[in-house]
Amino acid sequence: MSAMRWSGLALLACCCALAQSSAPPGAGPAASELKTIVVPPLGFWGPHVPFPKIKNMKTLRITLTRSACFGRCPAYTVEVRGDGTVRFSGLGGVRAPGDHDGHISQEAVAELLAAFRRADFFSLSDYLGLGRDASVYTVSIEFDGRKKSEEHSGVPGLAPAVVTDLEDAIDRLAGAGKWI
């Protein structure tokens, strides 16, 4: 989404917040629904880039890497391939250090692709910010010679919810929990 479009949404959110604060007591559900509007800060997205069509699923690689921190953060990389192959590499602070292989269904691979589309991943900035003493999270997708990655700190709030939801979906659908 363009910055101008997000600016318009920010204005809408401010107007809705104002409307919510001036709603009379007992105004009903419509007034309380206004509280659910969430507007990400400007800078998360660049110009809109449509999600490309995948020509060869054999070339698909979805990767999530979480680095170590100065505390107790699991450090690992999980990769999901287009055929459902899962590769996990536990680097530290995980239940199962080392390399492990698994497999997921084509439906789970399709669900991951849908999550990337919902996140408008190809329109995201490559770098969303880093915090002190925190893991660095890198999400990437590669297929048909195209590659897009995004990197940010594990500090809550530095990445939009669609990105953290995407990271959680990769972990969940890849079955990484058994190794983390």
- pLDDT of the residue at 68: 92
Please state the rounded mean pLDDT for residues 163-180. 97
Task: Provide the residue type at 10 as one letter.
Answer: A
Average pLDDT value over all residues in the chain? 80
Q: Where are the alpha helices (DSSP H) in the chain?
A: 3-21, 29-33, 106-118, 161-174
What pLDDT, in 10s, does the model give residues 38-77?
Answer: 334 445 767 899 999 999 999 999 999 999 988 889 999 9
Closest-CA residue to 119 (of 156, 165, 63, 66): 165
Task: Note the pTM of the prediction, 2 decimals.
Answer: 0.74
What pLDDT, in 10s, does the model give residues 24-33?
Answer: 455 444 444 4
Residue 100 has pLDDT above 90, yes or no: yes
Q: Percent of the chain at pLDDT above 90? A: 58
- pLDDT of the residue at 131: 66
Count of other CB atoms within 10 angstroms of residue 45: 22
Closest-CA residue to 108 (of 170, 153, 26, 157): 170
List of residues 6+ apart from 151 with CB closer than 8 A: 126, 127, 128, 136, 137, 138, 139
